Chains A and B, each alone.
Chain A
Amino acid sequence: MTAIYTSRTNSANTALRGALEIKKIHCHFITKAVAKLCCDACIHLGQDVLTALEKGIQQETSPTGKEILEILVKNAHIATAENIPMCQDTGFAVVFVELGQDVHITDGDFNEAINEGVRQGYQDGYLRKSIVSHPLKRVNTGDNTPCIIHTKIVPGENIKITVAPKGGGSENMSALKMLKPADGLNGVKNFVIETVKAAGPNPCPPLVIGVGIGGTMEKAAMMAKESLLRDVGSVNPLADLVVLEQELLTEINKLGIGPQGLGGKITALAVHVEIFAAHIASLPVAVNINCHAARHKSVIL
């Protein structure tokens, strides 16, 4: 950091050299990368989910439940073999960008480059176009744009792009509540469990459940969404959250909902929790429900 600071202040020559060394990424590459990620995410089920489904097959006591989990594994293999989406709802394209602060984006508009990637990916990949331009007038835009872009500026000179297509069926069963601080841990747990119970068979269980606790309303929702990008089966870096995630998963899997809501033990494959500082008056909790597929694919440019 010191060296860079020096190069910018000492002489024009050094400053010029610094500027020339800035990594440039052409918008065209961003578009191509996003298009490929849209297709990959919709067609190929993640290995983490496949492992979790296989484990679920061993643990499920309901014969119907077990059969459904086996069908979901078979479905994933057919999708990959035939290059067709695993689910007809290829979702709202939610794009997460970690933009290195030392990168220079060239030859175009960054956000438009991402939207163009979604346009090309959904068209060329034969994915369903599920977006209406106005929430009340409801006319299909025909190319699955606009997408939703969440950009974070981070140190470094890379761009990490993650495309997470989100299906309507599971998104519709998500919920957010502003709890009172006095509601505490039990209040949080009850809200998560009640949300899953109310969702029942609708979001295509077995589920992956993202929970955001703390922050403001939108921060809680963002954390819940971002936690869905974690690998299913991965361990939370915070020790107390490891315990909370395990407790929530155990309680949720006692609800009896099971695969497809037809009864069984495996209602969820994983619960992922993220936390943030909270206001002295607030305890926001967001629950973002994902279907078993928990679709997301990333690339680093």
Chain B
Amino acid sequence: MSTIKITPPLTDAVIQNLRAGQQVLISGDIYTGRDAAHKRLVELIQNKQPLPVDFNGQIIYYVGPTPARPGQIIGAAGPTTAGRMDVYTPQLLEYGLKGMIGKGKRSPEVIKAIQQHQAVYFAAIGGAAALISKCIKAAEIVAYPELGPEAIYRLTVADFPAIVINDAFGNDFYDQGVQQYLKKGS
């Protein structure tokens, strides 16, 4: 399978072309967000208040980067465990979020919501944070600076490598990948 290049905002056509296991290179603007920011965003949605960023069609990257040294754009910036955001994700997908980048399994509810709202969950390589930081060409805090590493950043990325885990058809690449290498009867 050849690598597909994608750029947010993600259209339905782009999303329907993605399948679990597909490798992608993401370029353009994406947003960071992890536990504390998600909690705030979902509280705003529940109170019918505007969000600090318009996430329609956008991608959220679950990451809390290390601080940039002087002269650097950003520090190490690898994915964090996505499952901690599961409780918030269906509401963000309903709002219009289309993509997520993280690592690790999603809950059955999130996988269902990804299919229902025609979205996609990508994994980046956990632990490859120094290497991933090389794909980040600009970083700017756009909300919640007081949260430190949990602030929402707008990142401009170029050829950010990721793999489709959960596609809009209900597939899960973690299940598929492991089944291939599981030694039965062990």
The answer to whether B177 and A263 touch across the interface, beta carbons within 8 angstroms, is yes
Q: Is B52 an interface residue (CB 8 A)?
A: no
CB contact under 8 A between A126 and B69, given known A78-B134, A200-B174, A202-B105: yes
Flag B113-132 by CB within 8 Å of A: 1 or 0 each: 00000000001011111110
B68 within 8 A of A: yes
* Contact call A169/B174, Cβ cutoff below 8 A: no
For residue A256, which residues in chain B have a CB less than 8 angstroms away from its CB? Answer: 177-183
Q: Does A293 contact B (CB under 8 A)?
A: yes
Check A84 against B76 for contact (C-beta < 8 Å).
yes
Question: Contacts A79-B130, A84-B66, A254-B183 known; A262 to B148 CB distance under 8 Å?
Answer: no
Q: Among A168, A255, A293, which residue has its beta carbon within 8 angstroms of that of B127?
A: A293
**Residues in A whose Cβ lies below 8 Å from that of B130:** 75-76, 78-79, 82, 84-87
Q: Are A88 and B178 in contact (CB under 8 A)?
A: no
Point out the residue from B69, B125, B128 that lies within 8 Å of A84, measured CB to CB: B69
Q: How far is the CA of A262 from the CA of B78 in the complex (A)?
A: 17
B47 near A: Cβ within 8 Å?
no
- 13 examples of A-B residue contacts, CB within 8 angstroms: A62-B181, A71-B131, A72-B127, A74-B128, A87-B129, A88-B63, A88-B75, A126-B68, A138-B36, A200-B104, A256-B178, A262-B177, A293-B127
Total residues of chain B contacting the partner, CB 8 A:
45
- Residue of A64, A65, A251, A291 with most partner-chain B CB within 10 A: A64
Q: In this assembly, does B33 line the interface, its C-beta being within 8 Å of a C-beta of chain A?
A: no
Whether B56 sits at the interface, judged by CB under 8 Å, is no
| Residue of B76, B134, B176 ringed by the most chain A CB atoms within 10 A | B76
Query: Roughly how many angstroms separate A142 CA and B150 CA in the complex, as a whole number?
Result: 12
Q: Which 3 interchain pairs have the tightest Cβ spacing? A: A263-B177, A256-B182, A204-B126
Closest to A65 in B: B181
Cβ of A130 < 8 Å from any Cβ of B? yes
- The answer to whether B65 and A128 have CB atoms under 8 Å apart is yes
- Nearest-neighbour CB distance to chain A for B37, whole angstroms, equals 12
* B77 CB within 8 Å of chain A: yes
Which residue of chain A is the closest to B104 with respect to CB atoms?
A202
B103 on the A face (CB < 8 A): yes
Minimum CB–CB distance from A253 to chain B (whole Å) comes to 9
Contact (Cβ within 8 A) B66 A88:
yes
Asked if B89 is at the interface (CB within 8 A of a chain A CB), the reply is no
Residues of chain B within 8 A (CB-CB) of A71 are 125, 128, 131
Proximity string of chain A (236-256) to chain B, C-beta cutoff 8 Å, 1 when within and 0 when not:
000000000000000100111
- Give the residues in chain A near B75, CB-CB below 8 Å: 84-85, 88, 126, 128
Q: A75-B131, A127-B66 are in contact. Are A88 and B78 (CB under 8 A)?
A: yes
* B153: Cβ under 8 A from any A Cβ: no
What is the 8 Å Cβ interface bit string for chain A, positions 67-106, against chain B (1 contact, 0 not)? Answer: 0100110111011001111111110000000000000000
Nearest A residue (CB) for B68: A126
Chain A residue with the shortest CB-CB distance to B133: A84
Which B residues are in CB contact (< 8 Å) with A87? 76, 78, 126-127, 129-130
List the B side residues contacting A86 at CB < 8 Å.
76, 127, 129-130
Tell me whether A263 and B103 are in contact (CB under 8 A): no
Contact of A126 among B66, B177, B179, B182 (CB under 8 A): B66
CB-nearest residue of chain A relative to B67? A126
Chain B residues with CB under 8 A of A64? 163, 177
Contact A254 B128 (CB under 8 A): no
| CA distance in complex: A86, B126 (Å) | 10
Query: In the complex, what residue of chain B is closest to A204 when comparing beta carbons?
Result: B126
